[in-house]
Amino acid sequence: ICMNCHSAVKTESPEIQKIYAAIENDRPIEWVRVHNLPDLAYFNHSQHVEVGGIECQTCHGPIEEMDVVRQHSLLTMGWCIDCHRKTDVNTKGNEYYDKLVELHDAESKEALKVEDIGGLECSKCHY
């Protein structure tokens, strides 16, 4: 999982080199969890980063400036729900949303928010 980003980001970092060393020596990585969600919650990075176009820094803060990663945001259920209520859906250039935007605009003058497309449904995060 680490290498999904770190095969391209900070590859020369001494901390990342520890990962390469563990892989080369076929031994487990000593892991200190920083962002810990409860087992009852599921989080999908690709839905936020790839589809939503959300930058890492939005939730993780200035990660590129951190020598040691630390938790920047609360990442509580309330924090996520607040974000889903405030965040506009990135619909530009995505035909999937065309009809939904048309229907939304006919009913509302407000921007289409994540909560409007099921972003507050319990099963989005809880299973």
Predicted local confidence at residue 85, as pLDDT: 98
Tokens of 119: 């972003």
Structure tokens at 107: 């009913």
The whole-number pLDDT of residue 1 equals 73
**pTM of the full predicted structure?**
0.78
| Average pLDDT score over residue span 37-47 | 91
- Angstrom distance (rounded) from CA 47 to CA 53: 9
Which run of H or E residues covers position 82? helix 77-86
Residue-range domain boundaries for the chain = 1-31, 38-124
pLDDT, tens digit, 9 for 90 and up, residues 113-123? 999 999 999 99
State the pLDDT at residue 7. 87
